[in-house]
Amino acid sequence: MSDYNFAYLDEQTKRMIRRAILKGVAVPGYQVPFASREMPMPYGWGTGGVQVTAACLMPSDRLKVIDQGADDTTNAVSIRRFFQRTADVAVTSHTHEATLIQTRHRIPEAPLREGQILVYQVPIPEPLRFLEPRETETRRMHALEDYGLMHVKLYEDIARNGTIATSYAYPVMVAGRYVMDPSPIPKFDNPKLSGSPALQLFGAGREQRIYAVPPYTGVVSLDFEDHPFEASKAPHACDLCGDDGSYLDEVITDDRGGRMFVCSDTDHCDCRQKAGHRGRLAMPETVQ
Amino acid sequence: MTETTFDGGFTNAPIEAATAFRAALDALSRPGTISTLTGATPPAPLSQAAGVLALTLFDATTPVHLAGAHDTPALRDWLVFHTGAPLVSAENASFAIGTWDALHPVTRFSPGTPDYPDRAATLIIEMPALTPQGARLRGPGIKDTARLSLPDTATFQTNHARFPLGFDTFLTSGNKLAGLPRSTQVEAG
C-alpha cells in the first residue's frame, strides 16, 4: 500500500465524480460536466477513465485494463500498476474474472455479465463537435434533440464514398433520446453497446465530461433505411487462434509486404489458443 | 450539541464511502434492485441507509433540504458536522431527505434545465418498508420488467414524462436502499 488516499483521489473529488456518475446513469447518453483533475499522466492517456475508475473502485474489486483490446501494452500496463499501487486491488487479464474493466477503444469479445462495470477512456465526448465547434450550440442541439446535422454528415459520407465511411467512434442514439459518441471503438463493437448486462461508464478527462449507458439499455447506431448500419471487420481469420468472428489487428511482419492478422483482444486470443485452436501462422503445439 | 452529533460517522471513510457508492450505483443503474448500506449510525429519524448515502454524496457544494419530521436540531447538527452541507429550502436543494408526504409537493424540487438536466434534485425518500413488489418498472437498467414498492405511481409517471428533466430518487428503509432514476417508466402494479 502507498501513502496515497485509497485509489489516489481525495474524498472530496471522489464525491464530486460519484455525483456526476449517478446523474449520468439517470440520463443515459447525456454528458455530465465534472471538475476533472490533473492526473499523474498526460491527457490522452485515459485521465477521464482513470478518474471514473478511481471513483468506482472498491478493495474487493478485480481490475482489468485494456488498450485497443490488449492487456500488455504501455497504457494498459501503466494504468493497471497505478491502481495496484494506489488502491491495492487485485488485477486480472481475464474478462470473465474482472469486476471492473477500464478500456481504451475496444469492448472485450467475451460477453460481459451483470454486476461488471466497463469504463471507457474518451478523447472527444461530443459527437457533434466536428460539425459544430461551439459548446453553447451543441448543448442546445442536444436539449432540442436536433440531430439533423449528424444525419447530413452521414448522408455526405454516402454521397462521397457510396457507403457510410465512419469506421470508428460511430455515433449512436441511447435509449431513444441522446446521440452519443461511444468513444473511438471500431464500429464492429457498436452492437455490443446495446442491451449489455454490464454498466458502461465513459470518462473524458481533458473535456471534463462523464456519461453512462445503464445495463439493458437500447443503443442504436445511426443509419438510413437504404444504407443500414453494418458492423465491419477485416475479412480474415486470426492467424494465431483461427477465429474468424473477432476484431483483428493487421501487423506488418517484414518490409516485403508480409503481414498477419491477429485478434485485437489478447485475452480472447490466448484463451482460444489454450483451448487448442490454431490459426494459419500459429506455432505448432510443442511437446512438453 | 450533544455527543451523538460527533458519533455515527464513517470510521474508515475512503473504504466505506467506496463500498456505499457502489451499492448506490447498483441501485440506481438497475432500478428494482435493493442494496444494503452499512457503516453509519445517524440520529433518528434518519435511516441508516439514508445516513450512509448522505456521508457518501454530500459535501459543502451540495445544498440539502430536510423535509418535515426530518428537520430536527439533532439531525441538522449531525449532517452539518459530518458533511458540511448547507441546509436550504426545497427550491434550492440538490438533495432532499424526508418521508413521501413531507416531500410533497415534489414540484418544488429542481428538475434541471434543458441544457443541463444534471442540475436536477435527488430525493431520498424514507420508507416504512422496501420490497421488490408493487409498481411495475421498465426502462434503462431493467432487463424486462422489475417491481418495487413505490409510495405513489402517478407522481413518478409525471416525473418520467418530463424526461430528460425530472428528479431522481433513492428510497431508503432501515439499511436498505433502492433507486428510481427519472428514466424509469412506472406502471401501477
- CATH at B167: 3.40.50.11310
CB contact under 8 A, B114 and A178: no
Q: What angle do CA A5, A53, A44 make, to 5 degrees?
A: 105
Residue B29 Cα, gap to closest chain A Cα (Å): 5
Phi, psi of A65 (to 5 degrees): -125, 130
Are A59 and B18 a contacting pair at CB < 8 A?
yes
Residue B142 has pLDDT above 70, yes or no: yes
Q: Which amino acid is at A272?
A: R
Please give the pLDDT value at position B88: 98
Q: What is the DSSP string of A31-42?
A: -EE--PPP-SS-
Using CB atoms, pick whichever of B22, B25, B118 lies closest to residue A27: B118
Are residues A15 and B17, on separate chains, in Cβ contact within 8 Å? yes
The Cα–Cα gap between A4 and A21 comes to 23
Q: Distance (Å, rounded) from C-alpha A28 to C-alpha B31? A: 14
- Rounded-to-integer distance, Cα B38 and Cα B172, Å: 12
Q: Is residue B6 part of a domain?
A: no
Helix-strand-coil percent breakdown of chain A, rounded to 5?
A: 25, 20, 55
pLDDT at A287: 46
Q: In this complex, do A15 and B56 lie within 8 Å of one another by their Cβ atoms?
A: yes
**Annotated active-site residue in A29, A49, A203, A279:** A29
User: What pLDDT shows up at residue B148?
Assistant: 97
Structural domain that includes position B21: 11-187
Percent of chain B residues topping a pLDDT of 70: 98
Give me the DSSP letters along B66-79: E-GGG--HHHHHHH
Q: What is the pLDDT of residue B2?
A: 62
Pairwise CB contact (< 8 Å): A199 & B57: no
In a domain, B136, yes or no: yes
Chain A residues with a Cβ under 8 Å from any Cβ in chain B: 5-7, 11-12, 14-16, 18-28, 30, 32-33, 55-59, 114-115, 139-140, 143-144, 175, 177-178, 197, 199, 212-217
| Inside any domain, residue B4 | no
Record: contact A144-B114, CB cut-off 8 A: yes
Using 50, 70 and 90 to split pLDDT, how confident is the model at B184? very high
The answer to whether B67 contacts chain A (CB < 8 Å) is: no
In sequence order, what are the residues at sequence separation of 6 or more whose Cβ sits closer than 8 angstroms to the Cβ of residue B102? B67, B68, B69, B70
Q: A166 near A213, Cβ under 8 Å?
A: no
Which residues sit opposite A171 in a β-bridge?
A: none
Per annotation, catalytic residue among A46, A49, A238, A271: A238
- Burial zone of A241 (CB within 10 Å; 0-12 exposed, 13-18 middle, 19+ buried): buried
Phi, psi values for residue B126, rounded to 5°: -80, 120
Q: Which residue of A has its CA nearest to B19?
A: A58
For cell 471500431, the residue is: A186
The answer to whether residue B83 is domain-embedded is: yes
- A3 chain-B contacts, CB cut-off 8 A: none
Q: Is B88 exposed, middle or buried (0-12, 13-18, 19+ CB in 10 A)?
A: middle
Contact: B140, A217; criterion CB under 8 Å: yes
Is position B84 within any domain? yes
Looking at the structure of chain B, the number of domains it has is 1
Query: Who among B57, B139, B164 is closest to A18 (CB)?
Result: B57
Test B19 with A57 for CB contact under 8 angstroms.
no
Which residue blocks in chain B are alpha helix, DSSP H? 13-29, 48-57, 73-83, 100-103, 154-161
Residues of chain B positioned with their CB less than 8 A from the CB of A175: 139-140, 183
Rounded CA-CA distance A19/B59 in Å is 11
How many CB atoms are located within 10 Å of the residue B79 CB? 25
Say what the pLDDT of residue A285 is.
63
CB B62 within 8 A of CB B110: no
Residue in A28, A177, A216 nearest the CB of B143? A216
Residue B1 pLDDT class (50, 70, 90 cuts): low
Q: Is A56 labeled as catalytic in the residue annotation?
A: no
Task: Answer yes or no: A271 catalytic.
Answer: no
Whole-number pLDDT of residue B189: 78
Nearest to B22 among A20, A27, A58 (CB): A58
pLDDT at residue B4, rounded to an integer: 79
A238 a catalytic residue: yes
How many whole angstroms separate alpha carbon A81 and alpha carbon A88? 9
Q: Is B110 helix (H, G, I), strand (E, B) or coil?
A: coil
Considering the entire predicted model, what is its pTM?
0.96
Asked if residue B5 is part of any domain, the answer here is no
The dihedral sign for the CA sequence A144, A148, A151, A157: negative
**What's CA B143's distance to the chain center, in Å?**
23
- Residues of chain A with C-beta less than 8 angstroms from the C-beta of B118: 20, 23-24, 27, 30, 32-33
Instruction: State which residues of chain A have pLDDT below 70.
Output: 1-2, 285-288
Query: Is A245 noted as a catalytic residue in this protein?
Result: no
CB contact under 8 A, A33 and B118: yes
CB of B140 within 8 A of CB of A214? yes
Dist CA A85 CA B171 (whole Å): 36
CA distance A143 to A211: 15
Q: What is the pLDDT of residue A288?
A: 45
Is residue B72 domain-resident?
yes
Query: Edge-to-edge strands of the sheet including B176-180?
Result: B35-36, B176-180, B168-173, B122-126, B95-99, B64-66
Residue of A128, A210, A216, A219 to mutate, interface with B, max B Cβ within 10 Å: A216
CA distance, residue A19 to nearest chain B CA (Å)? 7
The answer as to whether B2 is a domain residue is no
* Mean pLDDT estimate for chain B: 96
The pLDDT of residue A3? 84
Type and span of the H or E element at A103: strand A100-104
B170 closest CA partner among B118, B125, B110, B112:
B125
